Structure 1
């Protein structure tokens, strides 16, 4: 048990945070600037992400626990981001990319992953619109937060906001009961109108429609279902990995 607790504390203790600058605070949200950084990522496709959270987390936790070419342990960082590319229809698979920030000491030369499904993403400078919300998340909570944030952004007539894809962001380990921090990020397009990542459009009967905007209207946002059971599954993954060491 002592080894398990040590492993959990090592993973979720005082950790390095992704740096950002608050550009402006509006009534219901913040506009932030995140500098370019490297992230260790893994990508999966599925009908829902609740079944993908645990295997994606396991892959990334293995990577920082020594499953890399130099076989070194890498410090845990925060937050854990999941980039969601919603499917074009209810019977299609969506794409989910989970990422751990590479610590500053390894930013210039991240340890190459041994697992070929892990890749190092050079995430460019991002301007995001976001706000915090607490507690454990659920489908209904994520849907409400996404809808409310999108509505606030649209009320302010913010220019060039990408509603087609989005990030769901978590800062805390599953066993933290109080003071939890979660966020949704909508990304602002660059000055030349391009989204600073790959982006997809869904063709509808009315032409090209924003997937996330349409889903918010219909109450069908693809959510990161991190309910208590999913959080417990991640904690179990950490315990299993620690027992194997």
Structure 2
């Protein structure tokens, strides 16, 4: 089951994202860069709509595979509208704190709804364990990293982001414990599983509110919009 699922997932993801000339050719959520350092950015993301599914597992990699399997069924037409939905990036894996092994046995896997459906997404089937999430404007710290995102490195990447933030005016982002059910951090994956070199991943940490981002943007007028 595990090996077959892994192979199926690789083929499924490749079918929808492989062959694209670049990550930029696929729709992604829009944001404004509020502040940039050599190893991280502070971004103000616009309000957006996502499809999410919870997964209980001690493995980040396995949880991502299982969650994307459900999301792939949705984008292939397993929804109330029978609508096929184009692939977007990134695929998010939110790590939710818990009392399980490694303090991370709960995950939320998310798919960004294409612009065409942002205001009215195809509704998930009742028994699909998928949920439509409407995000308000979000302030996020993002740190890029390369290679494959896997169990052995995602926590290290999150710790590296926290360490970088502690040296800046944005240190308070990590001073607030996430509420029950909220992500401690999120791994954003942009690349096809068949892409070996130049893979694009990020670790995200969200501010409790977007007010700090918006105030900084209005004060500096230096934001850069990314669409």
The TM-score, its normalising length taken from structure 2, stands at 0.75
Counterpart for residue 185 of structure 2:
166
Say if 2:73 is the partner of 1:62.
yes
Post-superposition shift, 1:11? 4.0
Post-superposition shift, 1:129? 0.9
Post-superposition shift, 1:85? 0.8
Q: Secondary structure at the match of 1:17?
A: coil
Structure 2 residue runs without a partner (length 5+): 1-9, 179-183, 213-227
Total equivalences in the alignment: 190
Counterpart for residue 240 of structure 1:
none
Structure 1 residue runs without a partner (length 5+): 194-245
Of residues 129, 132, 145, the one that matches 2:157 is 145
Of residues 108, 111, 130, the one that matches 1:118 is 130
Q: Is the 8 A contact 1:40 1:100 kept in 2?
A: yes
Q: Secondary structure at the match of 2:191?
A: coil
Structure with higher strand content: 1
Let me know the Cα RMSD of the aligned residues: 2.6
| CA–CA distance in structure 2, aligned partners of residues 73 and 32 of structure 1 | 30
| CA–CA distance in structure 2, aligned partners of residues 113 and 170 of structure 1 | 23
Deviations 1:33-84 (A, max 9, x none): 1111010111122233333222211100000000011111100000001111
| CA–CA distance in structure 2, aligned partners of residues 102 and 54 of structure 1 | 19
